[in-house]
Structure formats: structure tokens, C-alpha cells
Amino acid sequence: GAVVSQHPSWVICKSGTSVKIECRSLDFQATTMFWYRQFPKQSLMLMATSNEGSKATYEQGVEKDKFLINHASLTLSTLTVTSAHPEDSSFYICSAREVRGYEQYFGPGTRLTVT
């Protein structure tokens, strides 16, 4: 149980375009989802926290107009990287926490390469 999927697992896009990453909780309902970014040989850094039906809370230094997060249902959150640039190339990981739960369950990650 408690499986989180991400789609796509790997994406290449051209500079200036937008790309959407999906995060789904497959066998539970998640009121809260988290988005992280991980650069090579660095730790995971929390980008934002989203609660179903409300606006996401972004961490300091994360541009909310560039990284659009939508958490429209209890099983799906999306991260859209708008006007992507090569410096946005990274590994993006989501996690989900179920209703009245404590533990975060992590997805396998999405590798974004911007050329």
C-alpha cells in the first residue's frame, strides 16, 4: 500500500517551453502533497506544500509564478515548470500524506532536462 507515482519519469524540453509533472497517490487519499527538487549530489530541497483545494505554500526562494502547483483532487497534484531554462534541469520528487496521516510517501521522481 501507500504507493505514489510520478509521470513522466524523464522529460526533455526546449528552453522557453513549459512542462507538467504529475504526482498521484494510487491507493490512498492525500490531503497534503509536497514537491522537492534535488540537484546532483545535493539533498532534497522542499519547494512547496500543497493542500487539496487550496493554494500551495512555497518555500523561500522558490518562484511561485514559475513553478505552478495544482492539487485539484485528493489523488493528484501537478507541478508545471513554466518557461523552463537549463538551470531548471533537476530531479523533481513529490510526496503525499494521507488524511489524518503522519508519514510522507515518496514518488520515484522525474528527471527534467532543459536544452
Partner 1 sequence: AQSVTQLDSQVPVFEEAPVELRCNYSSSVSVYLFWYVQYPNQGLQLLLKYLSGSTLVESINGFEAEFNKSQTSFHLRKPSVHISDTAEYFCAVSDDRWNDKIIFGKGTRLHILP
Query: Whose Cβ is closer to partner 1: residue 14's or residue 102's?
Result: 102
**Residue 80 CB, nearest distance to partner 1 (Å)?**
21
**Residue 74 CB, nearest distance to partner 1 (Å)?**
18
Binding residues for partner 1, rule: CB under 8 A, are 4, 32, 41-46, 49, 93, 95, 97, 102-109
Residues 6+ apart with CB under 8 A from 58: 47, 48, 64, 67
Query: Whose Cβ is closer to partner 1: residue 67's or residue 105's?
Result: 105
Cβ neighbour number for residue 1 with a 10 Å cutoff: 7
Alpha helix positions (H), the chain? none
